[in-house]
């Protein structure tokens, strides 16, 4: 956004930019998993504010909290040593008492944060109904590598219909990672595995983990904005860019998206407003894990016209694109290819064939500013070239005033307007003085 733009305009632009996401997420289920570090940390209050806002926007919200540091404190208070094997706590009888105590206190503290409604806060005038229940049936982990985990358990079943019943009443469901066996035994469960199981059982739109890193990092330490499940699996095998939390959370994320959860997000637990920035801005702030690639190319339909107008209007205003009215877009919509990011239209291009000249025009190639470094322009160009070849066309030409270098770098050569197909040549605007490029197919 231009630096000269005033704060009021920035705010208006942000709200308008967030509107498509608000519409898309209303009525969808989000499962948020966070450790005891978050519950006891300085961002806990802000997290409560953001959860309140998500619920107010109509998002069905399930929160799963952990309490690992609180359990360790309780063990130390009783003179006991924590025991772990492969990152999973070994819970004997004495440790189970510490687990129950720490979990109960942490749950009450989280409920208290979610139940505020003080004036002059983001939760003023609101009342968030927080519910819970015996939604989890558990089983013992048993003996692994000769280590008896005793009262450490795994999820056997999630009572999804009961959670959905609470969500249907516009309640926020808060789940403590304890489970009960059919025999009445209590088991200590891993927060991340409970969140995964709940998200899968509810067929959630999103599973979110608040973790000790901005997300997955590449070899240079830069944030990886999105990965497929297969790509994430390779990172686990190499250990590349994984912190303590990510070693625990990433396998759960992979399993969740492979079992039907639409997206899993890894967000920095110390990022103020991380949930809002991830879900209501184009760029986001964390790493998205999906079963399939996050960007999707497809042919446009008439339902895309409104989104196309919003996409190309700024570029028409600055002269990058020729103006096209809504009515013309509706008439020519079958010529357009669009690219979506997480269901939101972020790019387009159109193909106008001139069969008598065995040529076609690439027109209205546009990508939103936030994704211009994501290679979407190249993907759209390849898709348009493929469509042209299917129609047995031999040349692809383009008229541009601003991006001549981009087309040169992709194999286009400059020609004069007189080399255009006759029908296009007659419509050439000499006042606009667009440069003409052509590429052999």
Query: For residues 221 and 106, which has the higher predicted lDDT (pLDDT)?
Result: 106
| CA atoms of 20 and 3, how far apart (whole Å) | 25
Q: Is 152 within the bounds of a domain? A: yes
pLDDT reported for residue 384? 94
Same domain for 303 and 281: no
Q: How far does Cα 284 stand from its chain's mean position?
A: 7
When pLDDT is averaged across residues 360-381 and rounded to a whole number, the result is 88
Same domain for 229 and 116: yes
Give the total residue count for the chain: 441
Question: Per mean pLDDT, which range of 174-183, 289-298, 393-402, 407-416 is the poorest?
Answer: 289-298
* C-alpha to C-alpha distances, 405 to 123, 230, 408, 410, nearest whole angstrom: 51, 35, 5, 9
Q: Is the confidence at residue 178, as pLDDT, over 90? A: yes
Q: Which of 260, 276, 294 is the last residue of a domain?
A: 294
Contact 295, 379 (CB under 8 A): yes
Contact 324, 331 (CB under 8 A): no
pLDDT reported for residue 1? 42
Overall domain count for the chain: 2
Contact 13, 22 (CB under 8 A): no
Contact 336, 308 (CB under 8 A): yes
Q: Is 343 within the bounds of a domain? A: yes
pLDDT reported for residue 94? 96
Mean pLDDT of the chain: 90
DSSP calls for 406-425:
HHHTTT-EEE-GGGS-HHHH
Question: Per mean pLDDT, which range of 14-23, 98-107, 132-141, 415-424 is the poorest?
Answer: 14-23
C-alpha torsion angle, residues 383, 389, 394, 398 (rounded to 10)? -20
Query: For residues 183 and 13, which has the higher predicted lDDT (pLDDT)?
Result: 183
* DSSP strand pairing (287-290 vs 226-228): parallel
Contact 300, 318 (CB under 8 A): no
Instruction: For residue range 296-346, list pLDDT tens digits in order.
Output: 899 999 999 999 999 999 888 887 888 888 899 999 999 999 999 877 899
Q: Is 124 within the bounds of a domain? A: yes
* DSSP strand pairing (153-158 vs 136-140): antiparallel
DSSP secondary structure letter of residue 121:
S
Q: 3-state DSSP call for residue 412?
A: coil
By percentage, how much of the chain surpasses pLDDT 70?
A: 97
pLDDT reported for residue 423? 86
Same domain for 335 and 234: no
Same domain for 135 and 44: yes
Cα of first residue to Cα of last residue in the chain, in angstroms, is 37
Same domain for 320 and 171: no
pLDDT confidence tier of residue 2, bands split at 50, 70 and 90: very low
Query: For residues 181 and 41, which has the higher predicted lDDT (pLDDT)?
Result: 181
Best CA proximity match to 289, nearest among 243, 235, 244, 239? 235
For the chain, what is the largest distance between any 2 Cα atoms, rounded to a whole number of angstroms?
Answer: 89
Query: For residues 17 and 91, which has the higher predicted lDDT (pLDDT)?
Result: 91
pLDDT reported for residue 286? 92
Same domain for 269 and 200: yes
Query: For residues 384 and 18, which has the higher predicted lDDT (pLDDT)?
Result: 384
CATH number at 141 reads 3.40.1160.10
Q: Is 2 within the bounds of a domain? A: no
* DSSP strand pairing (206-211 vs 147-148): unpaired
Contact 229, 257 (CB under 8 A): yes
pLDDT reported for residue 356? 86
Q: 3-state DSSP call for residue 49?
A: helix
Domain containing 344 equals: 296-440
Same domain for 237 and 319: no
Instruction: For residue range 85-144, list pLDDT tens digits in order.
Output: 988 999 999 999 999 999 999 999 999 999 876 566 666 667 789 999 999 999 999 999
pLDDT reported for residue 372? 79
C-alpha torsion angle, residues 424, 319, 321, 12 (rounded to 10)? -160
Phi and psi torsions of 420, nearest 5°:
-70, 155
Contact 335, 301 (CB under 8 A): no
Same domain for 55 and 27: yes
């Amino acid at each position: 956004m231009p630096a000269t733009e005033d704060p009021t305009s920035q705010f208006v632009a942000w709200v308008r930019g967030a509107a498509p996401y608000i519409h898309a997420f209303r009525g969808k289920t989000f499962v948020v998993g966070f450790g005891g570090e978050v519950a006891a940390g300085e961002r806990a209050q802000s997290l409560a504010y953001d959860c309140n806002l998500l619920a107010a926007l109509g998002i069905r919200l399930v929160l799963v909290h952990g309490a690992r540091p609180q359990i360790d404190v309780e063990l130390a208070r009783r003179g006991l040593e924590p025991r772990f094997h492969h990152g999973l706590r070994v819970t004997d009888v004495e440790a189970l008492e510490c687990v129950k105590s720490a979990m109960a206190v942490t749950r009450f503290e989280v409920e208290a944060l979610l139940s505020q409604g003080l004036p002059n806060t983001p939760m003023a005038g609101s009342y968030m109904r927080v519910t819970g229940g015996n939604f989890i049936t558990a089983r013992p982990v048993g003996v692994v590598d000769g280590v008896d985990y005793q009262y450490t358990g795994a999820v056997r079943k999630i009572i999804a219909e009961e959670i959905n019943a609470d969500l249907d009443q516009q309640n926020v469901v808060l789940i403590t990672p304890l489970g009960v066996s059919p025999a009445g035994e209590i088991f200590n469960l891993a927060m991340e595995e409970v969140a995964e199981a709940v998200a899968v059982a509810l067929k959630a739109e999103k599973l979110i983990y608040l973790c000790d890193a901005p997300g997955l990092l590449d070899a240079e330490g830069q944030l990886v904005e999105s990965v497929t499940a297969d790509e994430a699996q390779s990172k686990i095998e190499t250990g590349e860019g994984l912190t303590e939390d990510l070693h625990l959370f990433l396998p759960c994320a992979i399993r969740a998206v492979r079992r039907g959860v639409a997206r899993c997000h890894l967000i920095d637990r110390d990022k103020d407003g991380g949930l809002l920035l991830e879900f209501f801005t184009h760029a986001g702030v964390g790493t998205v894990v999906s079963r399939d690639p996050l960007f999707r190319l497809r042919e446009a339909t008439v339902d895309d016209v409104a989104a196309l107008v919003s996409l190309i209007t700024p570029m028409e205003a600055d002269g990058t694109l020729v103006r096209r009215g809504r009515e013309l877009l509706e008439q020519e919509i079958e010529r357009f290819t669009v690219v979506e990011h997480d269901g939101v239209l972020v790019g387009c291009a159109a193909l106008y064939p001139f069969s008598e000249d065995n040529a076609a025009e690439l027109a209205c190639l546009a990508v939103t500013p936030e994704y211009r470094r994501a290679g979407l322009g190249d993907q759209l160009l390849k898709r348009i070239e493929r469509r042209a070849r299917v129609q047995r066309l031999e040349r692809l030409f383009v008229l541009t005033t601003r991006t001549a270098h981009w087309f040169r770098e992709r194999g286009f050569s400059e020609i004069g307007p007189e080399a255009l197909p006759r029908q296009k040549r007659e419509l050439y605007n000499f006042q606009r003085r667009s440069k003409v490029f052509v590429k052999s197919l």
